[in-house]
């Protein structure tokens, strides 16, 4: 189990889980709600860093949003800076997967002075990732409607835990190269939920205007960009675009993965993370 604490900041109180040892590394996701069972992406860094897994505003035990705009990506980046300051770190590394990686990119280009380095896995720099026919969020993708149906079904608060587990499993399997290995990748003891207000705000407000490509060209933060060759959520060309834009980025493509290379190819992912972060230890 991860250690749990409430961190009081200049912007409110946030629930933070920690594990590991070494220099600090922050992890979050735009609309996940974490608990003391931790997170499988965050766990990939526990042997390299002391990981601080953050519930953003409105998720878990963190303060609720007083205005809808407090659920935005920009507000989340400012909240992360406030958490870093409150924890007493002059800087930290940051890692994010999927929309957590998108948040990490925004964090780096707008408040990069607090970030020593960034790991962005399975991410995108623009809302145009959903335009690709092989992206599961494109209406052209054969699994588009099923993915949308599952997302909406998981928003229902009255779901039993068994129903939630079944739907979540089906949804996740759509983004695995080898869905038959789901039980191997996702141990039952690690649990998290979707923060529905945060997901809805992202889809309604942040997603339509999300585009960081021009800003990334001026971003000084050293960045490891990782992606599965067969990623159906943020296709590999999105990571190639990020790495080409950023002046201090390294791209690693995981040939036998879809959206979860840290689970589908864990040794390769950890080796890439270790090599990258080992040059940035303090």
Per-residue pLDDT of the chain (282 residues; tens, 9 = 90+): 899 999 999 999 999 999 999 999 999 999 999 999 999 999 999 999 999 999 999 999 999 999 999 999 999 999 999 999 999 999 999 999 999 999 999 999 999 899 999 999 999 999 999 999 999 999 999 999 999 999 999 999 999 999 999 999 999 999 999 999 999 999 989 999 999 999 999 999 999 999 999 999 999 999 999 999 999 999 999 999 999 999 999 999 999 999 999 999 999 999 999 999 998 664
Residue ranges covered by each domain of the chain? 3-278
pLDDT at 279: 80
pLDDT at 1: 82
Does domain 3-278 fall under CATH 3.40.50.1820? My reply is: yes
pLDDT at 90: 97
pTM higher than the cut 0.85: yes
pLDDT at 281: 61
Give which of 201, 176, 180, 198 is closest to 261, Cα–Cα: 176
């Amino acid at each position: 189990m991860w250690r749990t604490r409430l961190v009081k900041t200049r912007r409110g109180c946030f629930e933070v889980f920690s594990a590991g040892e070494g220099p600090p590394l922050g992890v979050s996701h735009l609309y996940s709600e974490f608990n003391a069972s931790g997170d499988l992406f965050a766990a990939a860094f526990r042997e390299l860093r002391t990981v601080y897994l953050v519930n953003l505003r409105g998720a878990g035990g963190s303060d609720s949003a007083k205005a809808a705009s407090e659920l935005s990506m920009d507000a989340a980046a400012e909240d992360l800076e406030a958490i870093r300051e409150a924890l007493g770190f002059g800087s930290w590394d940051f890692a994010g997967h999927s929309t957590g990686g998108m948040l990490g990119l925004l964090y780096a280009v707008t408040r990069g002075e607090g970030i020593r380095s960034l790991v962005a896995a399975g991410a995108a720099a623009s809302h145009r990732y959903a335009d690709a026919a092989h992206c599961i969020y494109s209406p052209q993708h054969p699994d588009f409607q099923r993915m949308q149906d599952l997302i909406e079904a998981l928003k229902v608060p009255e779901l039993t835990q068994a129903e939630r587990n079944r739907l979540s499993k089906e949804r996740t399997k759509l983004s695995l190269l080898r869905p038959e290995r789901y039980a191997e990748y996702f141990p039952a003891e690690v649990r998290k939920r979707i923060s529905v207000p945060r997901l809805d705000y992202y889809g309604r407000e942040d997603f339509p205007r999300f585009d960081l490509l021009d800003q990334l060209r001026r971003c000084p933060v050293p960045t490891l960009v990782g992606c599965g060759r067969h990623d159906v959520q943020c296709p590999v060309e999105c990571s190639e675009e990020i790495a080409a834009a950023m002046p201090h980025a390294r791209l690693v493509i995981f040939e036998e993965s879809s959206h979860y290379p840290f689970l589908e190819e864990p040794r390769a992912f950890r080796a890439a993370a270790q090599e990258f972060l080992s040059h940035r230890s303090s």
